């Protein structure tokens, strides 16, 4: 049985302490099952709400890029990373691994809520093994909370409709319903497919119902908006910083924890609480994947990181790094709604990283690069 240990917060780099951590009372520990009196990994320490600075001593870290509603590819990526069982039971097998998904779970695919449910379930299981699952919100998450549904797959509207109906079956028991959706969504999807007719594609009332359902779930203060609010747009784990599109020095100067807090507050708040959507929080989510040279070095120094990991822009060559591997790009366009490419993930151990990818035709045969 685990016993509590005293832990210190993640140390701040001495050169820029004021830029890293604003005063906050929100910190927590994720304890492994080992007794503190025995030689064991130190607990994971999280600072910020939503999580912003994470100390995960001696942990293997896995970074996964944009998933865009493709549950099958999401499972494939997690399986080649060695954190998800391949027996169809969706069990965490990553032990004390820390998993970071860098945003854009939404849009272009039809199993968005199922993926969110899966990651939530895996986080719960990972914590019991001394690991953790973190998400970083991307531009497609913020777009949906803003009500911008331009990139929503038609079948994703159906998932929203089904999910609202499904919640009624759980008598609005949100936590239980949300975690179980990963197990029940497939049956709902099959039932809808079996009941469809040729004329459904022109059913305006059905389309409107899907749009309304999505608006109810994702509008500020909605159930799924509040789930997204549990995650930030910037996350530092040890000396690696993760964000969706990139990070620049003026973002760090504005305050990393402040950005996360403001985005989260906006997502949780009802429309009545804000006369208009705040603009400043979105600076870290929109397309800063072209960070180069000295700007990158200045950003990493300011945030106290060795390297940056980003998604957002599909990489035709697969996961890769630039500028002395100061920035890693992990969006490979794996979703069938993007490039339908084979999954790849980035594995980080200490200061080293390497790419894990599956063979093109045989998922269980992995190609593992050397650490860089």
SS3 track for 21-49: CCCCCCEEEECCCCCCCCCCCCCEEEECC
Question: Which pTM does this prediction carry?
Answer: 0.85
Report how far residue 30's alpha carbon sits from residue 193's, in angstroms, rounded to the nearest whole number: 41
Counting Cβ atoms within 10 Å, is residue 187 exposed (0-12), middle (13-18) or buried (19+)? exposed
Helix, strand and coil percent figures for the chain, each rounded to 5: 40, 15, 45
- Residue 16: what pLDDT? 36
The predicted structure's pLDDT at residue 294: 82
pLDDT reported for residue 27: 59
Tens-digit pLDDT profile for the chain (372 aa)? Answer: 333 232 323 333 333 333 333 334 455 666 544 444 445 789 999 999 999 999 999 999 999 999 999 999 999 999 999 999 999 999 999 999 999 999 999 999 999 999 999 999 999 999 999 999 999 999 999 999 999 999 999 999 999 999 999 999 888 789 999 999 999 999 989 988 888 776 676 677 778 999 999 999 999 999 999 999 999 999 999 999 999 998 989 899 999 999 999 999 999 998 666 555 555 444 444 444 445 678 999 999 999 999 999 999 999 999 999 999 999 999 999 999 999 999 999 999 999 999 999 865 555 556 666 667
Q: Which of 16, 68, 140, 364 is catalytic?
A: 140
Model pLDDT, residue 157: 96
Phi, psi of 23 (to 5 degrees): -55, 130
How many angstroms separate the Cα of 126 from the Cα of each of 32, 103, 216?
10, 19, 30
CB atoms within 10 A of CB 176: 10
Radius of gyration of the chain (CA): 20
β-pair type (27-30, 44-47): antiparallel
CA distance 210 to 11: 47
What residues pair up with 348 in beta bridges, in sequence order?
A: 61, 353
Instruction: Give the ranges where 196-333 is alpha helix by DSSP (H).
Output: 204-218, 223-228, 249-254, 256-268, 293-303
Sign of the CA dihedral with 10 first, then 82, 339, and 105 last: negative
Q: Indicate if 140 belongs to the active site.
A: yes
At 31 the pLDDT is: 52
Contacts of 348 (CB under 8 A, 6+ apart): 60, 61, 62, 63, 240
């Amino acid at each position: 049985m685990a016993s509590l240990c005293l832990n210190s917060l993640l140390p701040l780099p001495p050169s820029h302490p004021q830029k890293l951590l604003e005063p906050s009372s929100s910190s927590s520990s994720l304890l492994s099952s080992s007794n503190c009196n025995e030689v064991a990994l130190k607990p994971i320490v999280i600072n910020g709400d939503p999580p912003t600075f994470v100390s995960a001593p001696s942990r293997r870290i896995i970074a996964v890029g944009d998933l865009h509603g493709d549950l099958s590819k999401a499972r494939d990526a997690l399986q080649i990373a060695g954190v998800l069982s391949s027996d169809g039971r969706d069990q965490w097998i990553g032990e004390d691994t820390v998993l970071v998904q860098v945003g854009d779970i939404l849009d272009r695919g039809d199993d968005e809520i199922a993926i969110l449910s899966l990651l939530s379930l895996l986080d719960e299981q990972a914590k019991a093994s001394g690991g953790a699952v973190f998400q970083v919100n991307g531009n497609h998450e913020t777009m949906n909370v803003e009500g911008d549904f331009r990139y929503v797959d038609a079948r994703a509207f159906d998932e929203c409709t089904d999910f609202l109906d499904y919640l009624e079956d759980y008598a609005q028991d949100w936590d239980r319903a949300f975690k179980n959706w990963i197990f029940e969504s497939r049956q709902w999807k099959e039932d809808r497919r079996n009941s469809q007719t040729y004329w459904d594609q022109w059913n305006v009332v059905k389309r409107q119902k899907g749009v309304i359902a999505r608006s109810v779930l994702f509008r500020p203060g909605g159930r799924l908006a509040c789930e997204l609010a549990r995650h930030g747009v910037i996350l530092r784990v040890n000396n690696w910083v993760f964000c969706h599109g990139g990070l620049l020095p003026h973002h760090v100067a504005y305050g990393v924890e402040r950005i996360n807090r403001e985005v989260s507050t906006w997502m949780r708040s009802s429309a009545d609480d804000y006369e208009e959507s705040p603009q400043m929080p979105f600076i870290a989510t929109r397309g800063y994947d072209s960070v180069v040279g000295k700007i990158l070095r200045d950003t990493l120094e300011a945030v106290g990181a060795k390297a940056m990991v980003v998604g957002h822009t599909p990489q035709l060559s697969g996961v890769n790094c630039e500028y002395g591997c100061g920035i890693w790009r992990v969006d490979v366009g794996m979703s069938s709604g993007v490039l339908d490419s084979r999954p790849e993930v980035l594995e980080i151990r200490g200061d080293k990283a390497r790419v894990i990818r599956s063979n093109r035709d045989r998922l269980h045969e992995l190609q593992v690069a050397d650490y860089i």
